[in-house]
Structure 1
Amino acid sequence: MNVDLMMYQWGEEVCKPSHFYGPAVRDHYLIHYILDGKGVYQDGRKSYILSKGQGFLICPDVLTYYQADEKEPWHYLWIGFHGLQAKNYLGQCGLSRENPIFYFKESKVIRGYLQEMMKSKEVLWGRENYLLGYLHLFLSSLMVESHQQKGEILKVQEADFYVNQAIDFINKNYSRKITVQDIADHVGLHRSYLYTLFKKELHLSPQQFLIQFRMIKARELMGKDELPIGYIAHSVGYEDPLLFSKIFKNTIGKSPSQYRQEERD
């Protein structure tokens, strides 16, 4: 017998409305994958509302409860297993007692593995290896999905990091005559890639963001009547007051003097 990984149970069910199981404790790992419908899963720490494409892990010796929705009950499949390497394999899938929920978009893949497991009744020799083969395929699919999702998260985190670095640089240097190239050099990115990140995260180019940021600061300074327009222009990074006035009007819709007068009124 293979003690690294052992199959305990597998199956598929279209639940009746409000069907529930528990509170109960298992002596093995049990994964449910939802093909359709929705419901709630509780593990003693948190309560999760789960629907199509999601799944949940039940760990050994953990008191759990789950219930299908009254109007849109679950249609799910399950696979139960244990073994010396079970926890390790699940960790590679991104699953643990602390993180029991996963998402897998290709339901046909998982269901296909289960259907093959169902055929194990017809296997006379090597049945255990037959089942373990499909269990390994099932877990490897979750591993691949987990790493792909982590990669997407890292890309989002990378974008947030660089955009925030650029915004911080603008916030500290908008009063100087900085350019988009200066911003790109500061964060260590090619100008075109910085453009891509800004458009994706803020729906603005770095140049558009810089202009809008400077105009916000200019509007704040407009409230100080003792400051001439030329001084305000210099304070937000424009050496030429005429260029500043032109950009202000294009951005705000009014000339600096018109804006200041209306604010007074």
Structure 2
Amino acid sequence: MMEYLAGNPSFLDLHITQYGLEQCWPQHDYGPAVRDHYLIHFILDGQGIFETGNRTYHLKKGQAFLIVPEAVTYYRADAADPWTYAWAGFQGIQAESYLRQAGLSMESPILDRIDPDTVERCIRHMHDSRALPSGRDLKLTSLLYSLFSHMAETNPPHAPESRKDDRQDKYVNKVVDFIGTNYGNKISISQIANFVGLDRSYLCAVFKSRTGSSIQEYLIAFRMNKACGLMGNSLLSIGDIARSVGYEDPLLFSKMFKKEKGLSPRQYRTAYFPG
């Protein structure tokens, strides 16, 4: 069972791009290769190896492994006891944050505990959703969130190896939460730092080191992605959309939108929402 899905601008925070189930042949392998999206494999039975970042993991039933965008990975089923796995691929501006809540990251790509029956049931429900006359995208997204919830519940935080890293992740999550709630208002980096309770310079350095982007870059990207989702509403003018994502000046909004997306707001609307 396998299905690939198109991106959905209505679900910018998190959306599924593919899912499937496969019973692998002995020594069936894939890679080395890179992906342009996140992909989690859940081992339902058997065993195999997963290689990433010059590390090799020997994995078995009840575990899972994460592939992150642009990382070179390789995986192979065992010769004597080949694995059966389910997988889910996804993208979204909140994907990394949700993964960290589930205990996964590029630095820590392995989950030690998943319930194979729960995961398989969830993937089969995704497959069954093909028969829905409407609302399939909502159903798929809800099932993807169910998978994240299951991962977080079955993998509570370990005794921390690096309390500093844990604290920094909490700071980053607070920034993400603040922006997600207040992006439509006029907000500043200083206000965000006050909300988190840290010195502005320190918070900016932490956010950059943990995410690879500055807070300002993240805020702009978040706002523009939200704006893309609003483009399909023909009742909203470009000025209305600008105000909805925190820009009182439509010209500044248009300038930032084109810089981020490569098209002006009107060009984007015409290209993706014709008519």
Q: TM exceeds 0.5?
A: yes
Offset of residue 106 of structure 1? 2.1
Q: 1:115 maps to what in 2?
A: 124
CA distance 1:56–1:145, change in 2 (3 Å)? same
User: Tell me, which stretches of 5 or more residues in structure 1 are unaligned?
Assistant: 155-265
Q: 2:27 maps to what in 1?
A: 18
Offset of residue 124 of structure 1? 2.1
CA deviation digits over 1:122-159, x for unaligned, max 9?
A: 01211111000000011011111222x63xx48xxxxx
TM superposition outliers: structure 1 runs of 4+ over 3 Å: none
More helix by share: 1
Give secondary structure in 1 for the equivalent of 2:155.
Answer: helix
Task: Give, in whole Å, the separation in 2 of the partners of 1:32 and 1:21.
Answer: 12
Q: 1:82 maps to what in 2?
A: 91
Q: 1:249 maps to what in 2?
A: none
Task: Give, in whole Å, the separation in 2 of the partners of 1:138 and 1:94.
Answer: 13
Q: 1:126 maps to what in 2?
A: 135
2:14 aligned to which of 2, 5, 13? 5
The CA RMSD over aligned residues, in Å, is 1.2
The answer on 1:102 being equivalent to 2:143 is no
Task: Give, in whole Å, the separation in 1 of the partners of 2:62 and 2:27.
Answer: 19
Task: Give, in whole Å, the separation in 2 of the partners of 1:12 and 1:47.
Answer: 23
Aligned residue identity for 1:95 = L
2:150 aligned to which of 130, 141, 144? 141
Give secondary structure in 1 for the equivalent of 2:154.
Answer: helix
Report 1:222-261 matches (<5 A): none
TM-score (norm 1): 0.55
Q: 2:194 maps to what in 1?
A: none
Checking the alignment, whether the CA contact within 8 Å between 2:114 and 2:151 is kept in structure 1 is no
Task: Give, in whole Å, the separation in 1 of the partners of 2:112 and 2:123.
Answer: 17
Task: Give, in whole Å, the separation in 1 of the partners of 2:101 and 2:121.
Answer: 22
Q: 1:68 maps to what in 2?
A: 77
Task: Give, in whole Å, the separation in 1 of the partners of 2:115 and 2:80.
Answer: 25
Task: Give, in whole Å, the separation in 1 of the partners of 2:122 and 2:139.
Answer: 11
Offset of residue 105 of structure 1? 4.3
Q: 1:55 maps to what in 2?
A: 64
**Quick check: which has more Rg, 1 or 2?**
1
Give secondary structure in 1 for the equivalent of 2:122.
Answer: helix
Aligned residue identity for 2:84 = H
Task: Give, in whole Å, the separation in 2 of the partners of 1:56 and 1:26.
Answer: 14
Aligned residue identity for 2:33 = A
User: Tell me, which stretches of 5 or more residues in structure 2 are unaligned?
Assistant: 1-9, 161-275
Offset of residue 110 of structure 1? 1.2
Identity %: 43
CA deviation digits over 1:77-102, x for unaligned, max 9?
A: 10000100000000001100000000
Task: Give, in whole Å, the separation in 1 of the partners of 2:76 and 2:107.
Answer: 20
Report 1:186-265 matches (<5 A): none
Offset of residue 45 of structure 1? 2.5
Give secondary structure in 1 for the equivalent of 2:12.
Answer: coil
Give secondary structure in 2 for the equivalent of 1:108.
Answer: helix
Task: Give, in whole Å, the separation in 1 of the partners of 2:103 and 2:97.
Answer: 10
Task: Give, in whole Å, the separation in 1 of the partners of 2:128 and 2:83.
Answer: 24
TM-score (norm 2): 0.53
Give secondary structure in 2 for the equivalent of 1:49.
Answer: strand
Aligned residue identity for 1:57 = L
Task: Give, in whole Å, the separation in 1 of the partners of 2:40 and 2:46.
Answer: 17
